[in-house]
Every structure is written in C-alpha cells, then in structure tokens.
Structure 1
C-alpha cells in the first residue's frame, strides 16, 4: 500500500489529489483523508485495475480524494499518515503552488460544516434549574435516488442513498451509530437478480446542493451501480435511518445545556425499477450491454512471416466490464493465435461506472498477404442509448511479407509481458540427464541397508 500526491503546481481551477493504492487484498477499511488548510474536499473516485496473465489474476484498487483550492497562493502540506486495512502509510508532505486560472473562474464556495451542536458550558456553582424542552421542526429527509426508472437487462442504474438537511438544521441533528446501522441498510439494498458495483466511499462529508431553489446539505451514505441479470424488476423497499435530534430549551438560560438529546427515524420511499428484456438477437443471452468504443493498437509497423506480433483489442466506455468476454478469434489457415492477456481498469466517479478492458493477442502468420483482422475478431454488444445491437471490429489490416513457413518454431519475445514471468523466473541451472537413475540407485542402497539392519536384529533376538 502506498500514498501518491498530485501535481505540486496547478491553476486554481484544477484539483489537487491524494491517492492510496492497494494491491493484492480487498479493501476492508481506511482512515479519513487529511484536511488541508486552504483547500476544500471535493469528492472521491475509485479505480480498480485487474490483470489476468497466464491464468493468474491480480487486482489493484486506487482511491483518490480531490481537493479544491479556495484561492491562489503557496500552501504547505504537513507530513501525514493514513491507515488502510491496518497498514500505516506516511507522506512527507509537499509545498503546493496554486496559480491563476487560465480563464476567468470563480473560486469554489466554502463547504458546509459538519453538523455541530450548540456550545456547552459547564455549570460552576449550584444545581441546574429544571428546563422545559420543545422539539423544533426540521426540514431533513432521507432519499433513495435512482438515475433511471427503467433499464434493459444488463444496463447499469445508479442508486444513491442520501440524507438531506438545511444549514439551519445542523445544530439539531447528528448521526447516531451509523457504522452499526450500515450493515442492515446494505442488506435492504441488496438485489439478488443484479450485479452490484459499490463506490467504496466510507467518509461522509456534506455537499452543498440546491433543491427547489432552497440550499441543502447532502450526505452520501451509500452509492452503487446495479446491472440486472434478468428481466425481474429491481425492488427497493423502505430504508430507515435513526438520527440524533436535539430538543431545545423553551427558555434558554446562560450557563446551562439548553438542549436535550433525543432520536428520530427517517425513512425513504420504496422504489421499483422496471427491467426490459433485450430485443431478439441470436446472441441476446451472450452479448455485453453498454456504450463502448474500440481502441486498437499493434506493436510494430513491419510484419514478416514467422515473426510474432502483439495486437491489442481495447474496449472503453460505460457498462459492466466484468461481464464483457474476450472476442473469440475465428480460425484461419496459416495463422497462429495465442492469448489473450486481459487487463481491466474500472473507475467509479460522479455517479458513473466505466473504464477500459484490454485483450492482448499474440499472432504469428505462416503465409504472406493482408491479414483481415476485422473478419477474425468481432465483439457484438447492445447499446442501451440507441436501443440497438452494434459490433466492434478492427480497422487495422497489417500486410505480412516473406516466404511461406510450413514449419514454424514459435520463439517468445523476452520483452513480452506474457512470457516474462516464465522466462525470467525459470532456473538456468543445467540438470543431469541421468538424475532419475541416480535417485533409483540411492533408493536401492537405502533399502539394502535397512534389510541388513533388520536381519541383524532378528539374529540377535534368536540368540
């Protein structure tokens, strides 16, 4: 686990970032990102990178906190540390230079502060007089907000659980044992007929928003993207959240605690999201669903028969990349295909889930001529925005030159990541050809020795 700081010099209109990178282990918990003087926290994003090489899967998770500067100037970040899954990572800090905006821009508005209580002063002398308390009306509410009312099978729908309150209600309300309530809330939000991609955000901070022309503070309690696996509707029942609500003294007195702690439960309205089946198609049950584009690449410009080259079939866009399978290569005479290696980068940010999935193939042509990759690799998918099926096909058509190779001993390239683990980790120590014969001879000697010892013991016992 390691910490990464963003650029030290940037304009006031851009964000400074602090990230931590976790490899080879699931994220269980992490401490809050530090507060920086002169900066406002402005949301987080998470990126998951998955690599599959020779059947071995490695996953890397990056959580990034964005900071917006209030004004131009030079700022000093003091050394800080963060704890992730019980491991402590430390940063030496940095000196940041925030320059002017390239164009006229307005500095980010200051964030609403976290709910705070009314000031408490200890009573110095005598007993407090009995107080009468009243429960003021608040404008807070709990909401479960999907970004769509209906989706296709396999299409993602973003669902957020938010708590809203007005700035004037901050002194009246506070969170009550939210970590203890969260597991029960998550159980109510789970959908047995959908794939869920959660946003991994654990720190709850207020965000200034406007609803109906009125200012509110919004707390993101949970966010996830749901991908229906069949045409059953997604049904979200009523979700409850218990909060601390203070009753205020009817006649406030100096030197007394003029509020009394109580509890109030807020509930969401039930939500149902209709799920539509995909239109008829021979591959309807196999195709990926999403908005995708093809990004292809090839590792050389000249191609010869008998020489291996790497072709990259990259899919970018929004959708359930975990359900996107590698394109099947159509067999072709005189062409050998190896792989693919798979790498997936998943980004969750601003209520959207997308990323990139890359398939790398190694090809060796035995015969010269134009290699029609568009007829060898195809990926059919359904685009929910257009409501139609589409196909991603390569546009590259490399021309292979050279003589026909009937017998082609394939030689792996040492700079190819597919073979690096095997070639560089393999031992170069010579092994004798008669190793197994020596083992058999030594085993015979041991058995003969054991037989002699046993015979001598039997002879001694008879005497």
Structure 2
C-alpha cells in the first residue's frame, strides 16, 4: 500500500524540499550532498524555468520499461495473464490532512480549538475512510465539537492549485498542566482513486477497480501552556474563559421544616465540565444538603459553551428572618488578561411557624399541677365492696403514671438533638455523614449499571470525600490530596488506611480523564473499595473520638 505521512510519501529513504517561486524567470537549485557508508554522494544542479500557472505543461506520466502496445487490451484473450500497468504514484500534495489550532500559546485551562481539514485535488475520489487508531491528547481535557456528517467539499486555492476541502474533525482541548504539550496526529486509512495515467488509451474503458489503499496523518500539534498570573482572588478555583453568574431562589417565605431551593448558574464559554461549586454558607439555622449538579454543553461552532447549575436544598430548623449571603465566583478572562469576580446579592428569607419545644408544666407551691386540685368531698356517698384488684396494686397504674414522664424525656432529648444540629456544626456533619455517603454510593451504583463512567467516578469521589469531610468537620472542597491525608493523620488514622484513601482518589481522578481504559471489573472493584473505606474509616474515627 501507499503510505503518505505528514505530506511525505514513504516508499524509500528520501529527502524532499518544496520550493515556491516568487517571480517568473530562470532559476537554479544547487546541488545537495549526503554521506552513506563513508562515501559522499552529490546531486547535480537543476535549472528551472518559472512560467505563469496558465502555461504550466502537463505532468509527464511515468514510463514503463516494457514495450507498449496501445491496442493490446482490445485483442487480449481472457486466458492471457494480465501484466500490471505501472501508473505514476500520486503526488503527496494531491491528498493531505492539515491541523489548524486556534492558538499555540495559552494559559493553563484555556480553550484551544483544533480543526482537521482534508485537502484533495480535483479528480481524486475517496471511499471507506476510517480512523486507524485512537486520537489522544495527553495533558489536555478534551471535548468533541460538532461537524457535518455528510460535508459538501469546498473549493479553495492553495499555492495556486485548486483543492476540495472538507472538515474531518473539530475538538476543544484544555491544557491541564503547564509546559510544552503535544496533541497526537490524526491518522486515517482510506481508498483513493487518482486521475488515470495509463499509457493504454483503451484502459479508460476497463472495468478494473483503480482504487488503492492510502494512509494519511496530520502533523502533530504542539501547544505551549503557561501558568496563570499571580494574585488570583480568594474565590478563584481555576475557571478560565468568559462566564456570567446568576442566582435564583424558589421562595422567600416558608415554615419551619419546609425546604427551599437556591440555584447558582454559571454560563459562558470554557471548560464547564470541571467547574467546582461556588462556596455557599447559609446561616446555621438552615440544614444544607450537597448541591445537585446539571451541565448543558453547546458543541456547535468553534467554541465550547453552555451552562452549569448547582441546586442547593436547605431546610430551616428555627423561625425568624434570615439573610442568605451572596455567592462569589471568579474566573480568569484570557481575552483581557485579568481576573474577574462576580458576587450575587444577599437574599432575605422569612421563616414562620414554631420549632418543636419541650413540654412545660406550671406547678403550685405544694407541687400539684395548676387547675388539677379537686374540691373537698362533703358527701360520703354509698360504698360498694368489689373483688377487683386494688388500684395501688395494679402495675398498669404505675405504667400510666410513668408514661408522661417518659414522653417528656424523649421530647427533651429530641429537642436537644435538634438544637445541637443547629448550633454544633461538627455534630451535625457527623450525624449526616453516613446517610449522605450511602446516597452517593447508591447514585454511583446506578451510574455503574448504566455504563456512565465519567459521572460514576465523580460520584464515587464525592461519596468518600463527603464522608471524610463530615466526619473530620472540614471543608473537603478546595483541599488538596496531601492536605486531606494530613488531616487523617492528625485524626490518628493509620498509614495503611490513609494510603488506600489516596489510591482510590487518584483512581477517581484518572477515571474522569481516561474513563475509556477501565473495564466493568475495574469499576466494580473501585465501588467495593469505596464502600469498604467508608466503613473502615467510620470505625477508625469512631474509636479515636
């Protein structure tokens, strides 16, 4: 087969220089020398006459070494062997792929759009084109952009020649680290037919297929990723692009024990998939649950855009008038080269109704309840002897007397629990650690069964991080892996368990970037390890506390 890589036809060891004339007239290419096996080989000088494009002579076909019979195909017997006719190989400039990045020097996490264009000369026909291997971009977060599935070739002029051009692929890549990064070549295999160049004029009417296999590859794309500028705002978490912040709440008046939804929406252009939830801390009278996240991406055009929403559900545990603080979001705008911050306005919420309170009884100085003193009996009445058990000898009487005290004690314990949930954040997070972890694990199990690998690893990470954050009473968002491991060490967790936590979190990181490399067994093992770590961490932290 014929192999054409990066615009060079690979059939033998060869060196090719492409010259573009700047003006008409006579020119000369100097000789070139190479050393092979200690010997020096030198080419001859070449005289060239540069003429206008309209006067360009037709390219001579490659001549066969055998004697040609122009009428042989008319009188050939069907039992005669057919000798192949040697056609001139296609020029590498007849068919090639070009990779065009939108920029070659960006800051970390800034979007670069790479477009792969296929150029082919008039008369070249293609069929059965396909990718030969997986296109990779190590060091980048990548998102596919939409292209036409049945494109119509566009006629363009390149170096004075007419070409048909179609867009093969368009992708948005975001460098996740600094340095010089490389995007692999896009490689395809196809079958092509080139303009017929046989020396036999009657071969034009032959039914033999003239398609031949070809391999094409675009040049690799090198991108320089530079660090972000210093002095970033405190609320900056790595977002790069152009974004807008919007907040809304479903209601501002509710009863104690009801629920409200506070929605934070970030929209714009950039890597929306990796945006972290903004920091939101309502008053302690509200019980806050982890946000529900939804992402909508627009892949049409040359830029990745869309929106990402974080829905916080809160339940008030006390009445009164409260102010929900504004949410601040910061991002780096590469177009202007500055950090930009937006902050939403505070929202006033009115909570009505009453929270559960302990039952209270007002007693007299003698210890008897008010309004429960019977008047003196002035009539002895008529006494009747009965054979029933005496009242003071019945156990049900004492049980009924103890029942109000028992109910009062349970009410006091429940109220103390509710008050502690509002006032003691550490206690509240510890109490909800296990239910939230089980919730995330159930969701991860559903994602595992549906084969959604990237969201599965994200949910698995939230289950472990959320559990450890609640048990340790730390904000797990924004913590680095080393800081989290240090917190576990300070809490007295043994080194073996800490290493297992770190290994699982690193596995989740890899799973979100290269989810395609994980099999079903790997996903199930990761799920079992996460569940085991939550149980063992709970036991370890419970013993230490």
TM-score, normalised with respect to structure 1: 0.51
How far does the alpha carbon of each residue in 1:224-281 deviate from its partner, in whole angstroms, 9 at most, with x for none? 2211111022213555545434351345326324873445544433431111111123
Please state how far the C-alpha of 1:399 moved relative to its aligned partner. Answer: 4.2
How far does the alpha carbon of each residue in 1:20-44 deviate from its partner, in whole angstroms, 9 at most, with x for none? xxxxxxxxxxxxxxxxxxxxxxxxx
Gaps of 5+ in 1: 1-122, 411-417, 423-463
Matched, 1:191 2:143: no
Matched, 1:324 2:275: yes
Question: Quick check: which one's helix share is greater?
Answer: 2
Q: Counterparts of 1:320 and 1:197 in 2: how far apart (Å)?
A: 9
Aligned pairs for 1:25-424 (under 5 A) are: 127=77, 133-135=87-89, 139-166=94-121, 168-169=122-123, 172-175=124-127, 178-179=129-130, 182-184=131-133, 186=134, 189-199=135-145, 203=149, 205-208=151-154, 210=156, 216-236=163-183, 240-243=187-190, 244-246=192-194, 248=196, 249-253=198-202, 255-257=205-207, 260-280=210-230, 281=232, 286-300=237-251, 302-303=253-254, 306-330=257-281, 332-365=283-316, 366-369=318-321, 371-374=323-326, 377-395=327-345, 397-400=347-350, 402=352, 405=355
Q: What is the number of equivalent residue pairs in this alignment?
A: 280
What's the secondary structure of 2:273's corresponding residue? Answer: helix
How far does the alpha carbon of each residue in 1:73-95 deviate from its partner, in whole angstroms, 9 at most, with x for none? xxxxxxxxxxxxxxxxxxxxxxx
Over 3 Å counting, the alpha-carbon distance change for 1:215 and 1:313 in structure 2 is farther
Over 3 Å counting, the alpha-carbon distance change for 1:205 and 1:134 in structure 2 is same
Over 3 Å counting, the alpha-carbon distance change for 1:304 and 1:145 in structure 2 is same
> Does the Cα contact within 8 Å between 1:382 and 1:390 map onto a contact in 2?
yes
Which structure is richer in relative contact order (CA contacts within 8 A, separation 6 or more)?
Answer: 1
What's the secondary structure of 1:322's corresponding residue? Answer: helix
Please state how far the C-alpha of 1:315 moved relative to its aligned partner. Answer: 1.2
Gaps of 5+ in 2: 1-72, 358-414, 422-438, 444-545
How far does the alpha carbon of each residue in 1:354-411 deviate from its partner, in whole angstroms, 9 at most, with x for none? 222111112344353352431xx3233222222222234223623426467586989x
RMSD: 3.9
> Does the Cα contact within 8 Å between 1:193 and 1:232 map onto a contact in 2?
no
Over 3 Å counting, the alpha-carbon distance change for 1:256 and 1:391 in structure 2 is same
Q: Counterparts of 1:297 and 1:203 in 2: how far apart (Å)?
A: 39
Q: Counterparts of 1:325 and 1:208 in 2: how far apart (Å)?
A: 42
What's the secondary structure of 1:352's corresponding residue? Answer: coil
> Does the Cα contact within 8 Å between 1:201 and 1:222 map onto a contact in 2?
yes
Q: Counterparts of 1:345 and 1:329 in 2: how far apart (Å)?
A: 22
Q: Counterparts of 1:313 and 1:252 in 2: how far apart (Å)?
A: 73
Over 3 Å counting, the alpha-carbon distance change for 1:136 and 1:323 in structure 2 is closer
Q: Counterparts of 2:155 and 2:253 in 1: how far apart (Å)?
A: 56
Q: Counterparts of 2:161 and 2:246 in 1: how far apart (Å)?
A: 44
Q: Counterparts of 2:334 and 2:208 in 1: how far apart (Å)?
A: 56
Q: Counterparts of 2:107 and 2:157 in 1: how far apart (Å)?
A: 29
Over 3 Å counting, the alpha-carbon distance change for 1:284 and 1:335 in structure 2 is closer
Over 3 Å counting, the alpha-carbon distance change for 1:286 and 1:183 in structure 2 is farther
Please state how far the C-alpha of 1:282 moved relative to its aligned partner. Answer: 6.4
Q: Counterparts of 2:348 and 2:258 in 1: how far apart (Å)?
A: 13
What's the secondary structure of 2:291's corresponding residue? Answer: strand
The equivalent of 2:532 in structure 1 is none
Larger radius of gyration: 2
TM-score, normalised with respect to structure 2: 0.44
Please state how far the C-alpha of 1:153 moved relative to its aligned partner. Answer: 0.8
The equivalent of 1:32 in structure 2 is none
